[in-house]
Amino acid sequence: MKDRIQITLKPLWYNNRKLVAIDFHNNESVKEYINSLEGVRYSNIYKTHYVIYRSNIINELFNYFRAKKWFVDYSAFKENNSKPKREVNYRENYKLPPLKDESLKELKSFGKWLLQKRFSKNTVHTYVEVTGLFIRYMELKQISTISSRSVEQFNYDFIFSTKKSVSYQNQCISGIKQFIAFKKLTIENIDIKRPNKDKKLPTVLSKLEVKSILDATKNLKHKTLLSLVYSAGLRIGEALNIRPDDIDTERGLIHIRSAKGRKDRYTLLAPSLVPLLQAYLNHYTPKHFLFEGRNGETYTQVSARQVLKKALRLAGIKKYATLHTLRHSFATHLLEGGTDIRYIQELLGHNSPKTTMIYTHVSSTNLSKIKNPFDNL
């Protein structure tokens, strides 16, 4: 006697839309019968047939399959069928288990593998961190193997539902894909599309605000650091990796080595910054890096952020600003001063002029030339 065919109906959520998943044991005749059903589709991500949920759909499906005298399990819809279950607030209740020793060793090897591929230290740290979260998520959900579906589940539960930023989501996807390559896994349908970043305009400080920040900073090292970041339009990682011999006072240039994309470039050394820089070098005599912490190690980004935070408070500036805001301000002030945007692109180390063009949207020079119709009323 043949085993009775069973059809299982389960709720499935995708992009905040409720679906009905139709699960069954692999059988070609059953598959044909399901595919002949109006509105049925197949999900490559969840590896299941489904239809869009609507009122009375469970009853329709039950009758459709019972016509073949198949057993239909729809118990997942019996409780509170008319109202979807409240989604878990992962931000409050989502606690991942700690990493096991075996996973910690694997992540350490993964980090070394990324370094050998010449990823930056920041990127390696981020990829290892997000991959660790993914492994812990799999442990929580008792998922034994990495698949496109497990990555999609993690993306939805841990990133989308908790309203993480688009940038963080892209970092997670990139990190997990690198981990899959590290483990030499072949996973079908892993083409997870990255969402486009929000096109937000950067915060820009006025020249007066920048001056007030520098004037409020009395510590010689702190003042030199903030002055250099602004006057050369540096990313903070670039500023902290500068060595004393990268400063060319005769040519008025600073050599930025292995910046984003592992590219070298030259940027400006402001003549008025040279006396301050020389006083700093004479007092601190750094050996390896221009800005050093304890024991000659690189000055940390955390410490640099604290320097700016204190300067903003002392200067009485309420506007939200980061160290990258100084870089944005440098570029905007150059544009307002009439510098060709192609030169600004070179100084900032942008690959595409499109990236640099964003500063045309925050420059007050172009906007000030527009005649406001209110003035003609």
What amino acid positions are annotated as catalytic residues?
Answer: 235, 260, 324, 327, 350, 359
Q: 359: closest CA among 163, 203, 171?
A: 203
Q: 204: closest CA among 330, 334, 369?
A: 330
User: What's the CA gap between 250 and 259, in Å, rounded?
Assistant: 23
Beta partners for 8? 23, 73
Q: What angle do CA 13, 15, 16 make, to 5 degrees?
A: 65
**Cβ contact 39:26 at 8 Å:** no
Tokens at 377, concatenated? 């009323």
User: What's the CA gap between 364 and 377, in Å, rounded?
Assistant: 23
Q: Which residues 6+ apart lie within 8 Å of 369 measured at CB?
A: none
Strands 6-14 and 71-73: parallel
CA torsion angle for 120, 122, 128, 134 (degrees, to 10)?
-120
**Cβ contact 301:236 at 8 Å:** yes
Q: Which residues 6+ apart lie within 8 Å of 97 measured at CB?
A: 136, 139, 140
**Cβ contact 293:300 at 8 Å:** yes
User: What's the CA gap between 213 and 338, in Å, rounded?
Assistant: 24
Residue type at position 342: R
User: What's the CA gap between 224 and 214, in Å, rounded?
Assistant: 9
Q: Would you give the distance in Å from CA 196 to the centre of its chain?
A: 11
User: What's the CA gap between 373 and 6, in Å, rounded?
Assistant: 71
Q: 284: closest CA among 225, 235, 211?
A: 225
Which residue bears the tokens 């993914």? Answer: 134
**Cβ contact 226:307 at 8 Å:** yes
